Amino acid sequence: MMPSSSSSSTGNFLLSFLFALTASNCAAKNVSCSSSPRQLSVDYYAKTCPQLELLVGSVTSQQFKEAPVSGPATIRLFFHDCFVEGCDASILISTTPGSKVLAEKDAEDNQDLRAEGFQTVSEAKALVESRCPGVVSCADILAIAARDYVHLAGGPYYPVKKGRRDGKISMASRVPYNIPRANFTIDQQLKLFNSKGLALQDLVVLSGAHTFGFAHCKQFVSRLYSFRGTKQPDPDMDPRLLKSLRMSCPQFGGNSDIVAPIDVTTPFLFDHAYYGNLEAKLGLLASDQALFSDPRTKP
């Protein structure tokens, strides 16, 4: 994080909400259901798998060296898992062959989730199983990996509470109304976040996870040519950024694999440049830039 005291406090606030999203899920393998959620704790595996964080850390550190995009890919995977039925790793479940019911990972909104995020969890889970078979949930491994990447990308290291259960139910139909869209207004974002027990400040803070990572042209192309049906570009985008993005993302056609950094100044660092970008009209996604243009979130 940036070295000022205000930056440190803001960063810690963001991170507190990253792991505050981790309410456990009741539907799980080899765990009886109850009406109350399991109590999470930092030392949940202290006796059953004391080397857990070192094992996961060996995977995340290697992945980050080989493919830095693994960081934002895993954090986005964590968010997409948590916002649909809680942090239960149900996004990792594959659709049953021949089934008409698609799993979460096959939902249209999850098709752009990068393989590096899934690979991180898969490799970490395999290593952990070799040392602590049948003990640690995939949900906890995903939460730990997300924290590791925050730290590896320049953010602080924070303790991860553990004890999440792996869910057995995974349905693509539950995804669309639980995941925010790139063109959401503040009203739409607030409605979704409120439904999760999160408030205005939580929305602003958690959006800071866009401090690194990339988005495909389809997520922002309407801002470049016809923002909200006006046939004009979004006036809240810096003309230089607009010109640059138009060179890569034509209004029609173009390469669907082209991506642009969500944080155009420091795309691989976990810092506060994301917020400064919004002040300078350098936000990539409409949902992000709206945070600075809306009087409720601008302060």
Residue 88 labeled ligand binder: yes
Q: Is 106 annotated as a binding residue?
A: no
Establish whether 266 is an annotated binding residue: yes
**Alpha carbon distance 264, 282 (integer Å):** 7
> Is residue 81 annotated as involved in ligand binding?
yes
How crowded is residue 233: how many other Cβ atoms within 10 Å of its Cβ? 18
CB 43 within 8 A of CB 53: no
Q: Is 90 annotated as a binding residue?
A: yes
Q: Is 86 annotated as a binding residue?
A: yes
- Find residue 41's DSSP bridge partners: 162
Query: Which residue pairs from 225-228 have beta carbons closer than 8 angstroms and sit at least 24 positions apart in sequence?
Result: 225/251, 226/251, 227/286, 228/183
The runs of H, that is alpha helices, within the chain are 5-20, 52-66, 70-82, 115-131, 138-152, 186-195, 200-207, 221-225, 239-248, 273-279, 286-293
Residues 6+ apart with CB under 8 A from 285: 182, 183, 210, 215, 219, 220, 262
Q: Looking at residue 13, what DSSP letter applies?
A: H
- 84 labelled binding-site residue: yes
Report whether 180 belongs to an annotated binding site.
yes
Distance, CA of 290 to CA of 283 (rounded, Å): 9
Are 67 and 111 within 8 A, CB to CB? no
Catalytic, 272? Answer no
Structure tokens at 64: 């980050």
**Which is catalytic among the residues 80, 151, 216, 272?**
80
Annotated binding site: 81, 84, 86, 88, 90, 104, 180, 210-211, 263, 266, 271
Catalytically active residues are 80
Annotated binding site for Ca(2+): 81, 84, 86, 88, 90, 104, 211, 263, 266, 271
Annotated binding site for heme b: 210
